[in-house]
Structure 1
Amino acid sequence: MCQAFRLAASTRCRCFRCCPLSAMDLNFEMMRKTKYILPILLCLPFLLGSCETVVELELPEHTPQLVINAVINPDSLFTVDVSASRSPFSNGAYPQLSDATVQVYQAGQLLFDLQHQGNGIYRADAKPQVLQHYELRVNAPGFPGARATAHIPAAPILSDVKASEASPSNSPFPIVRLFFTLNDVANQENFYYLRAYTPDTSYYDGRPYNRTESLNFTAPIETEFNMESRYFLSDKLFEGKQIPFRFEYAKIPGRTTYVQVAHISKEYYEYARTLQRQAGGDDFGKLPSQVTNSIRNGFGIFAGYNAVRLAVKP
Structure 2
Amino acid sequence: MRRFLIFLIVVTAVSCVKESRIDIPYAGNKIVVNSLIQPDSLIYIRVTSSKPVTEYQFEPLESATVVLKEDGITLPTPIYKLINGAGYFVSQAVAKTGSQYSIHVENDGLTAVSAGDSTPIRPKISDGYAQRTLHRVRFTMQEDGSTNNYYRLRIFNADSVDGKWVIDKKDTIHFRLDPALNNDLPDIITNEYNSESIMTDANFNGKTIQFVLQTEKEVNSTHMIIEVSALSAAAWQYLRSTSDQRLSDSDSQNFSLDPENAYSNVENGYGIVAGVNAARLLFTVE
TM-score (norm 2): 0.72
**Do structure 1's residue 158 and structure 2's residue 125 form an aligned pair?**
yes
**Do structure 1's residue 197 and structure 2's residue 156 form an aligned pair?**
yes
CA distance in 2, matches of 1:178, 1:264: 21
Cα distance change of structure 1 residues 80 and 174 upon mapping to structure 2, 3 Å threshold: same
Look up the match of 1:215: 175
Name which structure has the greater RCO, CA cutoff 8 Å, separation 6+: 2
Look up the match of 2:274: 303
SS of 2:261's partner is coil
The one-letter amino acid paired with 1:145 is: A
The one-letter amino acid paired with 1:91 is: E
Look up the match of 2:75: 111
CA distance in 2, matches of 1:290, 1:164: 38
**Structure of higher CA gyration radius:** 1
Look up the match of 2:101: 134
CA distance in 1, matches of 2:193, 2:109: 35
CA distance in 2, matches of 1:102, 1:308: 29
Indicate the structure with greater helix content: 1
Range 231-240 or range 270-279, more displaced: 270-279
Cα distance change of structure 1 residues 80 and 153 upon mapping to structure 2, 3 Å threshold: same
TM superposition shift of 1:261: 1.0
1:228-256 per-position Cα deviation (integer Å, ceiling 9, x unaligned):
62211001233333332122443224x32
1:254-304 per-position Cα deviation (integer Å, ceiling 9, x unaligned):
x32111011111111101112236779x8x9x9996111110111000011
Structure 1, unmatched stretches of 5+, are 1-57, 167-172, 202-207
TM superposition shift of 1:179: 3.1
SS of 2:120's partner is coil
Structure 2, unmatched stretches of 5+, are 1-22, 161-166, 249-253
CA contact 2:130–2:219 (8 Å) conserved in 1: no
RMSD: 3.3
CA contact 1:227–1:272 (8 Å) conserved in 2: no
Aligned pairs, number: 239
**Do structure 1's residue 238 and structure 2's residue 197 form an aligned pair?**
no
TM superposition shift of 1:197: 1.1
Look up the match of 2:283: 312
CA distance in 2, matches of 1:153, 1:181: 16
CA distance in 1, matches of 2:122, 2:280: 11
Cα distance change of structure 1 residues 69 and 239 upon mapping to structure 2, 3 Å threshold: same
Indicate the structure with greater strand content: 2
1:86-112 per-position Cα deviation (integer Å, ceiling 9, x unaligned):
134x43521111101122112432112
**Do structure 1's residue 252 and structure 2's residue 216 form an aligned pair?**
no
Look up the match of 2:15: none
SS of 1:293's partner is coil
Look up the match of 2:30: 65
**Do structure 1's residue 182 and structure 2's residue 158 form an aligned pair?**
no
SS of 1:117's partner is strand
The one-letter amino acid paired with 1:303 is: A
